[in-house]
Structure 1
Amino acid sequence: MSAAQTESLEAFSAKDWGLLVAVALMWGGSFVLMDLGLQGLHPATITWLRLLFGVATLACMPAARRPLPRAEWPMVALLGTVWMAVPFLLFPVAQQWIASSLAGMINGAAPLFTAAVAALCYRRAPRRWQLAGLLIGFAGVLTIYWPTLDEMQATALGAGLILLATLFYGIAFNLAGPLQKRNGALPVIWRALLVALALSTPYGLYGLQFADGNALWFTLPAMAGLGVFATGLAFVAFVTLIGRVGAPRGSVTVYFIPVVAILLGVALLGETVEPIAIAGTALVLLGAYLTSRRQG
């Protein structure tokens, strides 16, 4: 990582908030979709199908096929590896041993890793209100999940794999912003997905032999949703956001994933919400506000 990343210090605009909410909605359902996939598919096949549907989605957009300078390809290949190929495999592998809710909670550390990578590699320590927002938001994520901690079945290996994937996200978020600013979101993300698909294809094809044919009627639609929305469209929206506001501030999107899960559970499944989860949601919103305000 060489070039310093330029970011806006102004308060989030309506478009910035719209991008954040759209990404949170699409990523908020991704852990459930992966759990559905694991009922009939090998983790490597889940990764491969997710990338395949994501690539196909962006291939339908002419702007994604615009040429990139040859000099950008090494960084795009690195982005596809650390943001997609490796983490996309680590998550379904880990979710064989840990609950999707715990995976989502550990994933909440991504903004903190993003800020740490920005400080170490770009010498851009978070400003006072930005750091406060990141810490308060993460406290909110922990608070939301606190009532279910006793019920979570976990192994050290599963949790460690999610933590490793989250560290890769922190690196990727910092790589994506400068690339998007120079080349546009669509060409960068499509080619990064192509790199990840090429790396994942051998393992994905290997995993097909373990597929449960009786479960394909619901696993394939789940993988289509995971690829089209939580991969293709969500990644473009997210890269656009961090290109506008910077990686540490844009990564606060991750904090809204458990909030989306709560809202979906109440609206679609009639679930009840613990009072402490409401308090955690308030902390997430406060953290997002502090992170999104003008950074002086």
Structure 2
Amino acid sequence: MQRATIERCANQPVSNDSSARRTAAEVAPLQPLDWLLLLTPGVVWGSSFYFIAIALRSFAPGMITPMRVVLGCITLTFVPGVRAPVPRSAWRNIVLLALVWLAVPLTVFPYAEQHVSSSVTGMLNGATPLFVAMVAGVIARRLPPRGQIAGLAIGCIGVVLIALPSIREGSSSSFGVALIIGALMLYGFALNIASPLQQQFGALPVLWRAEIVAVVMLAPLGIYSTLNNDRPFEWVALAAVLALGVLGTAVAHYAMVMLAGRLGSTRASASLYLMPAVSLALGVVVNNEDVALLAIVGSGIAVLGAYVLSRSRQKIA
């Protein structure tokens, strides 16, 4: 979900003057606003798995995603530029995007977190760029360049190490890990669809329309889950859902678009490397989760693989 937002600004055709300005931006010292924008997406998206764990105290898994997407969609409605026109020919892919980028994977995570910790969920999500690259290779029907293969190999080792302690805990935890990996594979497919759409029509207009469609898709699940929810209400759980929707499904994307425009995609992508660390810190320190040392080491290896992969793609570009 996040990577496509960055690539939209990087891959857009630019003039020589704008290329020069972007190059200057990529080496200029960071200003206070740049630091704020840099921290926002990584911290918000890294926190989202902790927020899901808190939301599950009061809300059934099938309620959380419909609520967060509705809140995100409403928030984005007030952002300038989201209503920029998009041709009818793009709507088929936007509907597909709503399904595989929003409705299904965002619904999977609350169900998965009933079986695995928020820390493990967040650490596995740090490997999203690896799944994007793997799906891109499948779509193109060719092997990626050698540098990307190295990044993929390193990252896959990291994913295995993250998942291994949970798998050893039994079938329930293994099921949760399988759900997360399935969601990440959908992310890989979705971001290969989202990138060209966002290059043509803008990141936020595409995201806003996809969220509108996802709201419609998720409505039956949300209604059914609400009618059958018997969990006791807690205000902190409602606050967690508000944070997921307003911050995670709207504000963080807006910050990433602004960041990529100010600093270029290379520096902007550094924000994503905060996600596993933030998720791990909140899960262990705040939510009192037990995380195996092997999984923590695996998270670092997965992030290293994503970094190697990212550097290889930049050299090719």
TM-score bucket of the superposed structures, by smaller chain: 0.7 to 0.9
2:227 is aligned with 1:209: yes
Query: Which of 68, 74, 94 matches 1:50?
Result: 68
Query: 1:252 deviation in Å?
Result: 10
1:295 partner SS:
helix
> Mean Cα displacement is larger for which, 167-176 or 142-151?
142-151
TM-score if structure 1 supplies the norm length? 0.77
1:95 corresponds in structure 2 to 113
Aligned position for 2:14: none
Matched positions, count: 288
Report Cα offsets for 1:138-169 as digits up to 9, x if no partner: 54455567777766883444333222212111
> How far is 1:60 from its partner?
1.1
Q: CA RMSD in A?
A: 4.0
Quote the offset at 1:107 in angstroms.
3.7
Instruction: Give distance in 2, aligned partners of 1:47 and 1:239.
Output: 23
Choose which of 134, 138, 143 in structure 2 pairs with 1:120: 138
- Measured after TM superposition, the shift of residue 56 of structure 1 is 1.1
Distance 1:155 1:120 in 2: 29
Correspondence for 1:200 among 218, 240, 264: 218
- 2:190 alignment counterpart: 172
Instruction: Using the TM superposition, give the Cα deviation of residue 229 of structure 1 relative to its aligned residue in structure 2, in angstroms.
Output: 1.6
For residue 40 of structure 1, report the CA deviation from its aligned partner: 0.9
Whether the 8 Å contact between 1:32 and 1:100 is mirrored in structure 2 is yes
Q: Which runs of 5+ in 1 are unaligned?
A: none
| More off after superposition, 60-69 vs 231-240 | 231-240
Give the superposition deviation at 1:286.
Answer: 3.8
Contact 1:84 1:196 in 2 (8 A): yes
Change (3 A) 1:110 1:251: farther
279 and 167 in structure 1: CA distance in 2 versus 1, 3 angstrom threshold: closer
Structure 1 pair 206/278, CA: closer, same or farther in 2 (3 Å)? closer
Distance in 1 (CA, whole Å) between partners of 2:85 and 2:101 is 21
1:70 matched to 2:100: no
With the length of structure 2 as denominator, give the TM-score of the two structures.
Answer: 0.73
- In the alignment, structure 2 segments of 5+ residues that lack a partner are 1-6, 12-21
User: Structure 1 residues 166, 145: CA separation in 2 closer, same or farther (over 3 Å shift)?
Assistant: closer
Indicate if the aligned counterparts of 2:75 and 2:246 stay in contact, CA closer than 8 A.
yes
- Residue 183 of structure 1 corresponds to which residue in structure 2? 201
| CA 1:283–1:18: 2 relative to 1, 3 Å | farther
Compared with structure 1, are the counterparts of its residues 199 and 122 closer, same or farther at alpha carbon in structure 2 (3 Å cutoff)?
Answer: same
2:97 corresponds to 1:79: yes
Q: Aligned-pair distance for 1:227? A: 0.8
Q: Which moved more, 1:203-212 or 1:39-48?
A: 203-212
Contact 2:119–2:284 under 8 Å retained in 1:
no
